[in-house]
């Protein structure tokens, strides 16, 4: 009897095939950095800043433009 479901050899079966580590531009400072996937868009330098850790908006005025 054969298995109906073949063994999954993918290390993370829930990760999109397009979600690959690559160099990306930080959405905050535009510096290019090595990203682990498309969910990581803020560079380590910006994530380490006091402003990022405090949760304050980057522009400081609190108003979002649409």
Q: What digits encode the pLDDT tens for the residues 14-42?
A: 878 888 899 999 999 999 999 999 899 99
Question: 40 lies in a domain?
Answer: yes
Question: 32 lies in a domain?
Answer: yes
24 close to 32: Cβ distance less than 8 angstroms: yes
CB 42: neighbour CB atoms within 10 A? 16
How many domains are contained in the chain? 1
Question: 27 lies in a domain?
Answer: yes
Bridge partners for 24 per DSSP: 33
Question: 29 lies in a domain?
Answer: yes
Question: 61 lies in a domain?
Answer: no
The predicted model scores a pTM of 0.62
**Alpha carbon distance 3, 17 (integer Å):** 24
Domain span including residue 31? 22-54
Question: 33 lies in a domain?
Answer: yes
21 close to 37: Cβ distance less than 8 angstroms: yes
Question: 31 lies in a domain?
Answer: yes
Q: pLDDT-based confidence at 66, cuts 50/70/90?
A: low
């Amino acid at each position: 009897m054969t298995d109906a479901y073949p063994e999954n050899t993918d290390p993370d079966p829930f990760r999109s095939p397009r979600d690959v580590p690559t160099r990306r531009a930080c959405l905050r400072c535009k510096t290019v950095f090595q990203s682990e996937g498309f969910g990581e868009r803020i560079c380590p330098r910006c994530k380490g800043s006091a402003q990022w850790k405090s949760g304050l908006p980057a522009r400081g005025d609190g108003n979002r433009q649409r």
